[in-house]
Amino acid sequence: MRVQAIMTAAILALTAAACSPAEEKAPAPAEAPLSGRAAVYAAGETDAEAFARALYAAPLSATPDDPAAATVSPGRDPLYSRTMNALIGVDFREAQSRDEVPYLNYDPVCACQDADGFALTALKMTPDGDKAATAEVTFTNHGQTHQQTLKLAKEGPMWRIADIIDAKGKSLHDTLMAIAEKAGG
């Protein structure tokens, strides 16, 4: 009799549990979408095209309150390859030693100091192997159309800018290399 009473109690408890409404789980808090440099860094870990598109989604010079930008200094920018960072660092240090403005005193991605009406209008990607790609970009800024070519390199898990070539064929890498060679000689 005692076993029957325990079994009946267990069945009633299971029935009551099955009939009671399921606990509603609170929805997980929505993560804020990435923006600024954080969005570019995340895209850089995806693929070369995603990285290029993120670079031109909005000029990084237009987001001065970006927390990720606060940790960037000349020659230590995660957007650029090791070689480009070294060249940018030399340009900055050489100018500083002469109390001058460095050659690279603008945002080379948008070829600008500031942006207005900035928009990517065309992108053509060409893979150059597993760890290199070329991005031909066309964008507008201040009502003018600009074209340039990015040489991209994959270093570690992230795509980075190895060179920026303007519409006239002038290479940022080569210009900075000339500054570095002059400084070393």
HSE (CB half, 13 Å, CA atoms) of 160?
Answer: 16
* Predicted pLDDT at 72: 75
Does residue 22 have a pLDDT over 60? no
Does residue 185 have a pLDDT over 70? no
Report pLDDT digits (tens) over 131-159.
999 999 999 999 999 999 999 999 999 99
* Predicted pLDDT at 13: 46
Average pLDDT over residues 10-19: 46
Instruction: Specify the fold of 35-184.
Output: Nuclear Transport Factor 2; Chain: A, (3.10.450)
DSSP labels for the chain? -HHHHHHHHHHHHHHHHHHSPPPPPPPPPPPPPP-HHHHHHHHHTT-HHHHHHHHTTS-GGG-TT-GGGGG--TT--TTB-HHHHHHHHHHHHHHHHTT---S--SBTTTTBSS-SS-EEEEEEEEE-STTEEEEEEEEEETTEEEEEEEEEEEETTEEEEEEEEETT--BHHHHHHHHHHHHH-
Does residue 7 have a pLDDT over 60? no
Does residue 6 have a pLDDT over 60? no
* Predicted pLDDT at 32: 58
* Confidence class for position 91, pLDDT limits 50, 70, 90: very high
Report pLDDT digits (tens) over 31-79.
656 778 888 999 999 999 999 999 998 766 555 666 666 667 788 899 9
* Predicted pLDDT at 129: 92
Report pLDDT digits (tens) over 103-117.
999 999 988 888 788
* Confidence class for position 179, pLDDT limits 50, 70, 90: very high
* Predicted pLDDT at 37: 84
* Token pair listed for 111: 């070829």
Average pLDDT over residues 122-139: 97
pLDDT, greater one: 10 or 36: 36
Q: How far apart are CA 88 and CA 19, in angstroms?
A: 68
* Predicted pLDDT at 23: 46
